[in-house]
Amino acid sequence: MKRISILLLILCTCFASVAWGQQSTSQVCTGWREFHRPNMARWNPCEKVLNVHNVGSLSKKWSYAIGGYAVYSSPAVANGVVYVGSLDGNIYALKASTGAMLWSYTTGKAIYWSSPAVANGVVYIGSGDGNVYALNAKTGVKLWSFATAAQAWSSPTVANGVVYVGCWTSVCALKASTGTMLWSYTIGGSVTSSPAVANGMVYVSSLDDNVYALDASTGALLWSYATGGVVDFSSPAIANGVVYVGSEDGNVYALNAVTGAKLWSYTTGYWVLSSPAVADGVVYVGSLDLNVYALNATTGTPLWSYTTVNEVDSSPAVANGVLFVGSEDANVYALNARTGALLWGYLTGTSVESSPAVANGMVYVGSNDGNVYAFGLP
């Protein structure tokens, strides 16, 4: 069983009052620049094109074949370019409107589950060769690389000029402009998830069964919470002062972001490798029990579930009332975020462990059939 743990720049300047961490602030709509924004909520509040009424008309606009290698990495999109990693060891920059390749950069080994992060004209990504890379977003030229202790499977998160990333058995904070290490915190197990950053704190899950909260400036431990199993590729999502994360004990957890105290947990039928999406008071997450779940964000009460034909380790993306997610049954699904009703689906060549990215009327996702797909309205 394979495990996984991102588009277009919105052309108009739009603002939405949304909760990032514990407070509501006005945010400029800037596309889907990493596994999601630093808080990892995987919700695009600025999407105005796709909705529950027209998403059924989505069709494939293009696909780009990456040499027969699976694409676990999730696309990121900025300034009209789609960035994605591949098991062939390359990171690709594709024109978002056509899928034409603009450039590629070869790392030393396969890029597994690390998804690109794009900030200030730089693309950051980890590789199986044990390095985190910073590349010029326009040209693909390497700006710097940082050697971790082993394979860099974590997806970088960029906030306030700092790159936060799992460095195998530690969390590293790197200066975004130079790659200089600012601090590291050693953890008892590997870090394969993407760190979440909110309100001066970094949240990360680990294979030692724990969720950690660290001071974003110093790396000092603030709290840790032990789940009942490995916390693998499920990246914590932060919304309204709560940390949401999945565990291989089959539970989705809601923890107080300041103290780490458990607020609630919900038990699915099997491992939760999917990262939660949080939107409009609802937590959405996939499970290896074949289901996608919608849970009340305050209480954990189940609102609905949708059953696919195979495991769901892809992480949902929510935009304008629609949830998009992949499944190992080879489909990409669009579900009504309020009811769970199926609105649209597309069958790729094999399992979809990559997580969709959504903005400005387009959906981008990778498939293990070796393609990156782009879907849009006619």
- Whole-number pLDDT of residue 28: 52
Residue 149 banded pLDDT, cuts 50, 70, 90: confident
Phi-psi sector, 226: left (phi>0), alpha (psi -120 to 50), beta: beta
Res 22: pLDDT: 33
What is the DSSP code string of 98-158? T--EEEEEE-SS---S---EEETTEEEEE-TTSEEEEEETTT--EEEEEE-SS---SPPEE
**Exposure letters 310-333 (e unless 16+ CB within 10 A, then b):** ebbbbbbbbbbbbbbbbbbbbbbb
Report pLDDT digits (tens) over 281-326.
Answer: 999 999 999 999 999 999 999 999 999 999 999 999 999 999 999 9
pLDDT confidence bin for 24, thresholds 50/70/90: very low
What whole-number distance in Å separates Cα of residue 34 and Cα of residue 275? 14
What percentage of the chain exceeds 90 in pLDDT? 84
Residue 21: band (very low, low, confident or very high) from pLDDT cuts 50, 70, 90: very low
Confidence tier at 1 by pLDDT (50, 70, 90): very low
Domains in the chain (CATH in brackets) are 15-376 (2.130.10.10)
Is the confidence at residue 75, as pLDDT, over 60? yes
User: Does residue 371 or residue 3 have the better pLDDT?
Assistant: 371
Average pLDDT of the residues of the chain? 91
The mean pLDDT value for 360-377 works out to 96
**Residues 97-116: pLDDT tens digits?**
999 999 999 999 999 989 99
Q: How confident is the model at residue 7 (pLDDT cuts 50, 70, 90)?
A: very low
Per-residue model confidence as pLDDT tens digits over 240-258: 999 999 999 999 999 999 9
